[in-house]
A and B are shown apart, each in its own frame.
Chain A
């Protein structure tokens, strides 16, 4: 295969991987801190993308057109809005149900995801149609043989990686991150040490959801289109990635995200059948991986709930 083409495939895979990794890190954070899977996370990504879209349209209507400024405002808006949504979900749906069987929380968050999807479809103007996302990043491109490198894709890749690294730094190096890790390890002992359990949970959900919001913006800017139902597949892929990498481990989530993107890319390139089978291939591999290692590749953290 021509090296330029191979580079193109690799780059496409990296872009997908960064988006999946951002979603997977959210899943792993939530699981770490509360032993819960927030299935609506993928739809939070979608909601973030729509908030970004609405904000950019509002800014456009107000006459503000400097692209760099618009991008920053839009990203902040999406991140903050989703942080709020995440905190609300934690406060009113997840925390009250933590004594109930795990199945109930699973279902509640699944249904919540469905509700978010329907709310956008029904109440956003023309919600059921695919929405064009504004092109806010410079589209300068450079051709290296068969490989086209575009500035906007590079910016998105760098942003994605930067946000994940930042979240990792917060968790590993700050005092609050220490509190998160303490709660994740043993919430009862953490409480007896004086850590405010509820506050930690709310802020963790906020952080994870803000990350999801920014992932939504990256998605929108990369594909130049958002749709109300992108959340379902993103959520399942993010969850698979987090699980494969080992729930509770941020590095595992990142690994899982890039692994899934690699599977999809390999599936669309190397298989003898049509490239549309890439999702089938990727999910089949995930199921096989789960069978072989039921609790993921990296960490052995069984999800036992009393």
Chain B
């Protein structure tokens, strides 16, 4: 049992090295071979279920697993410490993971279709922009971003509750377009020129300053990485807790069969409202942080295309499984940035990728495992 944990820890370390190389290399060959290695490893583990024992061992010690993950990412951050752009990519991946975990709670757990994810992401961003322009403390602005996104989501909750299937999709798509059009034409929120934001200033520690510790220096993006990592970790833990709680059971019941759930006394509307709100809260918080990191937002950042990217990440990773979101986000966000020659073609590739997945492997990269009611009790 303990050796399983140790091997799992080693796996995280190797994964950390892989991630460092993945993010920092400029060589297309090395990058391609890293992808090949990852694909082979994935296929191997899928085929022989070699990871089963280690996964179960870690599942009983979630705090240990989280510690390993944090250490691995910290190691990667250390290796990347003065390369601003790879750090920025890693932060972006982590923040999108937070937003997608929110979407996952809505779609993967509760079955609510939401094609306006970018609108809620954008609500958080614009809230942070407006609040920070008025001198509100930044931590509060970020939390407020999430709350305002949840409130805006409550505008949409009645249509979402009353519609099913395609109609629900239409309602969220219409809302997404309404949102980005509204931002474009409303000059109070900057219009197409967008809004600028200051860098985060947390209790006096200014994030936009390069860090100098003794003789070593690090890019200022390390600050954002620490914050993003904390948010991502919190989102994971939150999603796990929700899933394993009675609330999560209710969500799954509502998703699988509303009529049956209703006959068991589960409040359908209540479950959907909670899921929708929680998801939007996460989207809003990550949107606010992302906006402050980028320093600039415009209506063009939050269009239907971006909503489709969020949905693609959730589908690719495996609907219902927050863990799958991380590799999916890496693929969708990092790969086109690194392989410049496909940067132009990236939307084309996303589309083909999602269609192929839906045709041949609809469960995604890491399918959601069966609900585990009783943890493994022995090694």
Contact = CB atoms under 8 A, between A and B. Distances in A.
The answer to whether A and B touch directly, with their CB atoms under 8 angstroms apart, is yes
Interface of A: 31, 37, 93, 96-97, 100, 102-104, 106-108, 110-112, 114-115, 117-119, 122, 232-233, 236, 239-240, 243, 247, 274, 276-277, 279-280, 283-284, 286-288, 290-291, 294-295, 302-303, 305
Cβ-closest 8 pairs across A and B? A115-B351, A118-B348, A276-B185, A111-B351, A283-B178, A291-B159, A114-B351, A37-B166
B178 A287 contact: yes
Interface stretch (B23-31, B231-239, B352-360): B352-360
Contact of B354 (A107, A284, A303, A305): A107
Given A277-B182, A277-B185, 7 more contacts: A102-B166, A107-B315, A107-B358, A119-B348, A232-B304, A294-B163, A294-B167
A112 B162 CA distance: 28
Contacts of B305: 114
B174 interface: yes
A232 B306 CA distance: 13
Contact of A239 (B162, B170, B344, B355): B170
B165 interface: yes
A37 B163 CA distance: 15
Contacts of A37: 166, 169
B9 interface: no
B350 interface: yes
Contact of B355 (A103, A112, A236, A302): A112
30 contacts: A37-B166, A96-B359, A102-B165, A104-B358, A106-B169, A107-B315, A107-B354, A108-B358, A111-B312, A111-B350, A111-B351, A111-B355, A112-B351, A115-B348, A115-B351, A115-B352, A118-B345, A118-B348, A233-B177, A239-B170, A274-B185, A280-B178, A283-B175, A287-B178, A290-B159, A290-B163, A294-B162, A294-B164, A303-B165, A303-B166
B170 to A, nearest CB: 6
B339 to A, nearest CB: 16
Contacts of A305: 165
B308 A108 contact: no
Contacts of A122: 344-345, 348
Contacts of A294: 162-164, 167
A283 to B, nearest CB: 4
B290 to A, nearest CB: 23
Contacts of A277: 182, 185
B165 A111 contact: no
B122 to A, nearest CB: 15
B141 to A, nearest CB: 26
Contacts of A279: 177-178, 181
B113 interface: yes
Given A287-B159, A303-B165, A104 B352 contact: no
Highest count of chain B CB atoms <10 Å: which of A100, A115, A117? A115
Contact of B174 (A119, A287, A295): A287
B351 A280 contact: no
B335 to A, nearest CB: 16
Nearest to A103: B113
B158 A291 contact: yes
Contacts of B345: 118, 122
Interface string B351-378: 1101100110010000000000000000
Interface string B267-310: 00000000000000000000000000000000000001100100
B311 interface: yes
Contacts of A288: 159
A243 B168 CA distance: 11
A157 B227 CA distance: 57
A291 to B, nearest CB: 4
Contacts of A284: 178
Given A236-B177, A240-B174, A303-B166, A110 B362 contact: no
